[in-house]
Structure 1
């Protein structure tokens, strides 16, 4: 068994009353760079959440 490795940007999406914000692992706010992803996160049916993962763009 193996896991496919995709290179991307380690990120956290923070969802709260202020909306959804996306940060790099170094704490840079990249919400504007990931506008579509932030908009999708705002549609999740949660009051508060932190999503930790890697943002990958596939061709």
Structure 2
């Protein structure tokens, strides 16, 4: 999941540098969504990982 976030972040940065506003906004939006999903899954895994101890 983190791999996809990094890929979309790099695509958004490259598109932003080249000036393709629509592509940059789309890729950045996907990167944000994947980032927050990854953070939520990480927190959930921490909580359930600690409850098993």
* Shared fold (TM-score, shorter chain, > 0.5): no
Higher helix share: 2
Higher share of residues assigned strand: 1
TM-score, normalising length from structure 1?
Answer: 0.30
Relative contact order, CA 8 A, sep 6+: which one is greater?
1
Point out the structure with max Rg over C-alpha. 2
